[in-house]
Amino acid sequence: MNKKFDAIVVGAGQAGPSLVDRLATAGMTVAIVERHLFGGTCVNTGCTPTKTLVASAEVIHQARRAADYGIRIEGSITTDLRAVKARKEKIIDASRTGLEIWLRGMKNCTVYQGHARFESPHALRVGDDLISADQIFLNVGGRANVPNMAGIDRIAYLTNTSILDLEVLPRHLVVVGGSYIGLEFAQMFRRFGSEVTVIEKGPHLLWREDADICGAIEGIFANEGIAIRTEAECIRFEARGQDIAAGVNCAVGQPEEVVGSHVLLAVGRRPNTDDLGVEQAGLKLDAHGYIEVDDQLRTNVPGIWALGDCNGKGAFTHTAYNDYEIVAQNLLDGRSRRVSDRIPCYGLFIDPPLGRVGMSESQARAAKRKIRVGQRPMTRVKRAVEKGESQGLMKVIVDADSNEILGAAVLGPGGDEAVHCFIDMMSAKAPYTTLRDTVHIHPTVSELIPTICGELKP
């Protein structure tokens, strides 16, 4: 069946459904196509399931620490991974089902479930249906990258998606990749009861962060018994009976290796653009398969936009949602919003969490900025000490000439929330002195943010 719409949205991730709502409310006829699960990565295999698992891991960790707080728990404390998974699935299902019901009941919206492929710049085939529109918005997301490492084709490995289906705890989980996804799974499975080793090619975990942040995170992991192997320049795999050996160097004679029961590959993401028929639309991709867009998310083909993980402009739910805001407000509200206007910010949801915004100290110095830095360890934050969670630190980077806040990091209890003090100030383009002179509530972690703003040093 052939059908013409005013607009087509491909993908029901974080940008797509909200955009459909805005367009349909404006009176446009809109089709949304979803080939698998409503909600995209965030709801199904990303934020929602992992933060649910992180919460379970925090509970068992606190239970094991009960004696530190004067609380006695009789008997053993163990993880029921099936029950942990069931809780996760219940939360996911509620989000996914609610979203689908909303879309299917939306006025002016038609839902297609199937795989969309371009047949021309403004026509897509979805099963037996050919749908077309003058405006097409691609929100097709991404998936785990599986690099061509030696021996990878001869072992069974896990990705960030398949590890969510485990019902039996790994004896020894080997995590390949010391960045955000890998570290969250490493800590949660260590807390669930697995032996865990993290293998990273770089010199440090999260090696793009400042050395003090990297060092603090490595210390947190070491304190929980997580083994770390950095500078692994030659990663390869080999089956060893029921186990898997992961080689970490190429030394002649006795190469070093780590033997585990399970291997998790956490080495980046790739966009879902290889089966979209982009060549039929004439869309340009970059060397990594991302759809090339301008500062307002327009592709090289008039009338086609790309939002979310598939455009390479941000790998987070909040950047995907901001993509929706940019496109919708520019099209419907007469705005001129741009991707380059947003301030980079993100979190690492280990425990304690890391909240980050803007430039790191090393990035600012590399850019030859004249800076001043304020810093304080969590051991000098009373609220953190009182909670028994004094690992980590907070820091702020300020331009010495303009007083502009260039960036900040909060690694500690509530760091993923406290960092918004800096995000909001930077968005308002307020000088650091505004934050320095603001009265915060006592006793909190955030109350020390004005303090470090008053203790800046070159």
Three-state SS string over 293-316 comes to: CCCCCECCCCCEEECHHHHCCCCC
**Strand 393-399 versus strand 405-411 pairing type:** antiparallel
Question: H or E segment at 339?
Answer: none
d(Cα 201, Cα 221) in Å, to the nearest integer? 17
Percent helix / strand / coil, the chain, rounded to 5: 35, 25, 40
Q: What is the pLDDT of residue 234?
A: 86
d(Cα 45, Cα 329) in Å, to the nearest integer? 29
d(Cα 359, Cα 38) in Å, to the nearest integer? 34
Q: Are 161 and 45 in contact (CB under 8 A)?
A: yes
Q: Which of 82, 97, 96 is nearest to 48 (CA)?
A: 96
User: Which 3 state secondary structure label does DSSP give 332?
Assistant: helix
**Strand 116-120 versus strand 123-126 pairing type:** antiparallel
Q: What is the pLDDT of residue 251?
A: 60
Q: Which of 43, 119, 52 is nearest to 87 (CA)?
A: 52
pTM of the model as a whole: 0.96
Q: What is the pLDDT of residue 362?
A: 98
Q: Which domains, ranges and CATH numbers included, belong to the chain?
A: 2-144+270-341 (3.50.50.60), 152-267 (3.50.50.60), 346-453 (3.30.390.30)
**Active-site option among 115, 172, 420, 442:** 442
Active site residue 440: no
Question: H or E segment at 45?
Answer: none
**How many other CB atoms are found less than 10 A from the CB of residue 157?**
19
**What are the CA-CA distances from residue 438 to residues 113, 374, 414, 429, 431 (Å)?**
51, 16, 19, 15, 12
pLDDT one digit per residue (tens) for the chain, 458 residues? 899 999 999 999 999 999 999 999 999 999 999 999 999 999 999 999 999 999 999 999 999 999 999 999 999 999 999 999 999 999 999 999 999 999 999 999 999 999 999 999 999 999 999 999 999 999 999 999 999 999 999 999 999 999 999 999 999 999 999 999 999 999 999 999 999 999 999 999 998 899 999 999 999 999 999 999 999 988 999 999 999 999 998 665 556 899 999 999 999 999 999 999 999 999 999 999 999 999 999 999 999 999 999 999 998 999 999 999 999 999 999 999 999 999 999 999 999 999 999 999 999 999 999 999 999 999 999 999 999 999 999 999 999 999 999 999 999 999 999 999 999 999 999 999 999 999 999 999 999 999 999 999 99
Q: Are 276 and 117 in contact (CB under 8 A)?
A: yes
Quick one: angle between helices 180-192 and 211-223, nearest 10? 20
Contacting residues for 434 by C-beta, under 8 A, at least 6 apart? 425
Alpha helices (H) in 34-174, listed in sequence order: 40-44, 47-64, 81-104
| pLDDT, tens digit (0-9, with 9 covering 90-100), for 150-185 | 999 999 999 999 999 999 999 999 999 999 999 999
Element counts in the chain: helices (H) and strands (E): 14, 21
Strand partners, 136: 8, 304
**How many other CB atoms are found less than 10 A from the CB of residue 423?**
18
Q: What is the pLDDT of residue 108?
A: 98
* The residue to which tokens 């100290």 are assigned: 361
